[in-house]
A = this chain, B = another copy of it.
Amino acid sequence: MPATIKDIKERTGLSLATISKYLNGGNVLPENKILIETAIKELHYEVNEIARGLVTKQTKTIGVLVYSIESLFNGTLLKYIGDALRKEGYGLLICDSNQDEETEQKNAKFLINKKVDGIIVVPVLYGSKVVEMANHAGVPIVLMDRSPENCDCDCVRIDNRMSALRATNVLIGKGHRKIAIICSAKEYTGIERCQGYKEAMTLAGFDVPEEYIYGDIHSIEHGYESMKKILALPDRPTAVFMTNYEITLGAVMAVNESELGCPDDISMLGFDDLILSHVTNPAMSMVVQPMKNMSEKAVELLLGKIGSDRKSETPMEIVLPTRLLEGNSIKEIKM
């Protein structure tokens, strides 16, 4: 049983209030200060944050909910979020939703009951239920990445549709007309990116046959299986657009296993670099999101909400730009 403030009270003969004051950076007589400090050292005293939290009603802890901790995308986000939070003196409680909405909700409840001061969520799907829970409990919340427009909640994300549109245009600009897409069709992000692709194709006046669109869950398997199907198509496209990290991974695997080569037989454009583009051979061209900036903005937004108790404001929506990382995975087709 660790030492408590009471132990150091007895050791020093001072009152609880004085000691507490010292602990919280208040002014104490130099002699008492020394008294307290030595007692703390000798007793190995450490503040019980649980007890402190009970009375101050704040835990200096932020909860983060990610849809999958084993996704490098989330790992990277978490690193930057952690860095930003640490700088402000906050700790963070990370919960893995494990790609499951029910787990996500259970975790949200866990965080709320743990009395975190705020929540950042990278949702499994839309996160709407979690937002509702947090609002109900009066806990500030910020959405990242998979946050729909008009979600009535503060959020930071990229312009998914525009990013996909521009990426598709890059392919078109290099002479491709038969372009397939592998995307997630479940959550907002994937749907929007697919929309952007379709718009670009329509604008350019190109067909988008059904068998060029592969929408399913956000997973390596989906990327892998879809790319296999694409490569086996009688009328094979000349380029494929993969709209997230896991799908890109899977697609690369499928091409590697096949007889066909990139970019000679098939051009590829991926999403969410995360070192992948340097590991593949050839180097993959990628749409990259500003991970660090997104994370910092999310933290800033959340901490702002915690500071000033302005509940009933219109939610803030921060939309960040993406950039294109050029590799050697896109073949130029002479027209």
Which A residues have a C-beta under 8 Å from some C-beta of B? Answer: 1-2, 44, 46-51, 53-54, 59, 61, 68-72, 74-76, 78-79, 82-83, 86, 91-96, 98, 103, 107, 109-110, 112-115, 136-138, 220, 249, 252-253, 256, 275-276, 278-283
Contact = CB atoms under 8 A, between A and B. Distances in A.
Contacts of A109: 46
The number of times this chain is found in the oligomer is 2
A160 B282 CA distance: 33
Contacts of A98: 79, 82-83
8 contacts: A50-B50, A50-B59, A50-B114, A68-B79, A79-B98, A83-B98, A276-B279, A279-B280
A91 B82 contact: no
Contacts of A137: 2, 44, 46
A333 to B, nearest CB: 23
Given A69-B82, A112-B46, A114-B50, A93 B96 contact: no
A68 B83 CA distance: 11
A110 to B, nearest CB: 5
A136 B44 contact: yes
Contact of A256 (B46, B95, B280): B280
B47 A113 contact: yes
B69 A78 contact: yes
B79 A70 contact: yes
B50 A115 contact: yes
A113 B48 contact: yes
A236 to B, nearest CB: 20
A69 to B, nearest CB: 5
A313 to B, nearest CB: 20
A96 B79 contact: yes
